[in-house]
Amino acid sequence: MLIGIVGDRKELSRAESVYIKRVCRELSIDTMVYKEIADVFDSAGYDISDMDVDYLIILGSDKVLLNTLLSLKNRSPPIVALYAHGTRSYLSIGGIEEFPIIIKRLIKREYVIEKRLRLKAKIKSIDLPPALNDIVILPKTSGRVMRYTLEINNESIWRDEGDGVIISTPTGSTAYSLSAGGPIITLDSPVLSIVPINSMVLIHKPIITSSKNTIKIRDISPNNVEILIDGQIRKTISDEEVEITRSPYDAHFIRTLDIRYGLLDRKLRDKAVKKTRIFSVKDLPPSARLIFKILEYEGPLSRQELLVKSGLPNRTLSYALKTLLKRDLIIKVPSDESLRDITYMIRE
C-alpha cells in the first residue's frame, strides 16, 4: 500500500512526523511526502499533483485540506483527514495519535468512501479548481455594495444589491454560508444553496437548487470584485459572467467502520450550533462585525493579515479588535514561530 502524506510545516511537529514514520515502518507502508514538509520527515519531497497513491493522508487544519483539494484539481484519491496537535478541524475523522488504528482499518478495508460534491466555476471558458465548501463573489474593497444578476438554467431570478453572494455545497453549508443566514444542508443532499450576503432587497432570501442546475452570476458591478474559491484562491474579476456548476469530480473521504470515527456529521452539527452566536453580534460596531466575519471564515490571522483583508484603517482595526476581545468573542494566541507574534482567532 502506498500513501501520500500532506501537511503544513507550521502545524506539524517533529515528534508527530517521527511517530508517523515509525508506524509506517512497522506496518510496511510505503509513503510519498509533500515537498513542503519533506524536511520535517527527513524524506524525499513530491508535488501533490505527482502523488499517484492509494490513499492521501492530510494532517492539520481544514485549511490544509482545502488547499490540498484545490491543488489536486480534478483528481481525488481517497482522503483521510487527521488533525495535528493544536489545530482545529471539522472535516477530520481523528487525531494523529489515531493514525495506526486508521491505517490498520485501511489495510483490512474496513471503511466506506463518502463522496462529497464539489463546485466548478467557469470564467471566460476557463475552469477554476473545484471547491469543496463554497464559491463567493464579493467586492474587493470591503464596505462597497455589489450589484449582480442571478440566473438559474438561463432563467433570471433576481437583480440584487448587497455585500456579495455565496454558492455553497452541503459540506460548506455550515461554514460561511451559515453565518450569512443560509440553511444547514445534510451531506447526502444533491443540492446547492445560493445565499445573498446582507442583501438590500428584503425579499431576497437563500435559495436551494438542484446540483444539476447551472448557476450564473452576471452583470456584475462595480468592476472591482473578486471570486473566492473555498476561501483559499482569490481572483479579481470585472464584469465577466461567472458560471457555476457541479464538478464531475467529487471529493472522496474515508470513513472507518469503527463507531469512534463516525463523528463527522456530529462535529458539523456542533459547529453549526456554535455559530448561532454569530447572530448575537449584530449589536457590534460594523468594523467589529467585519473582523469577526473574516476570522470566522479565514481562521486565525495576524494583525497585518487582518489589515490587508479588511481594508480598515489601523486605528479602526485596533478598536474592532479591542471590542471583540472585551466581549470575549475572540482570543489572542502567540505564534508558534515567535512568542512576540500574535494571531487572533474566534473563541470556541
Active-site residue numbers?
62
How far is Cα 343 from Cα 298, in angstroms, rounded to an integer? 12
How far is Cα 327 from Cα 73, in angstroms, rounded to an integer? 41
How far is Cα 333 from Cα 41, in angstroms, rounded to an integer? 27
Helices first, then strands: H and E counts in the chain: 9, 23
Report residue 179 as a C-alpha cell.
453565518
How far is Cα 264 from Cα 257, in angstroms, rounded to an integer? 12
Query: What radius of gyration do the chain's Cα atoms show?
Result: 21
Q: Are the C-beta atoms of 156 and 215 separated by less than 8 Å?
A: no
Residue 338: which residues within 8 A CB-CB, separation 6 or more?
A: none
